[in-house]
Amino acid sequence: MALFVPALALGGALGSQYWGGLYPCEMCHWQRWPHYDALAMTVLAFLTGTGRFTRPLVLLAGLAIFVSGAIGLFHAGVEYHWWEGFTTCTTLARGGPSTDVLAQILAAPLVRCDQAQWTLFGISLAGFNALLSIPAAIAIWVLCLKSR
């Protein structure tokens, strides 16, 4: 579960970005970083086998998944205008020669954090991240901490 959930979340996020044309806002990127961390910790836990670091690494991966879900919950609240976000939510240019960077800045789409680009049944991608990640993190902790 600690490997599947962040892989699914990142696969959906990257797929919607590169194949679906949904550009991520700043807060979308914030949600991705804990999932990257969770993947790294889970892969490291698998590589250590059944050593003494396996369980703590999986617990930390669960914490990272929970953090991503909490950020997703906050982001969903900003999208639904329940509260105000604290970011400018602009896109960044990718590297390259200075003339290319200027062209990228001018051509980059402005993606606002307070407007959901896509919803299903009224739930945004940030909302789905929260609905997936928070319960999964709790399940990971329960499964890890229960006696053998």
Measured distance CA(42)–CA(60) in Å, rounded = 9
C-alpha distance from residue 15 to each of 4, 12, 88 (Å): 16, 5, 24
What 3-state DSSP class applies to 66? helix
φ/ψ of 142, rounded to 5, equals: -60, -45
> How many residues does this entry show for the chain?
148
In the chain, the largest separation of any two C-alpha atoms, in whole Å, equals: 60
**Chain segment 41-57, per-residue pLDDT in tens:** 999 988 887 778 888 89
**Chain segment 131-146, per-residue pLDDT in tens:** 999 999 999 999 988 8
Alpha-helical runs (H) found in 108-147: 125-145
| pTM, to two decimals | 0.79
Sorted by where each begins, the domain ranges of the chain are 4-86+114-145
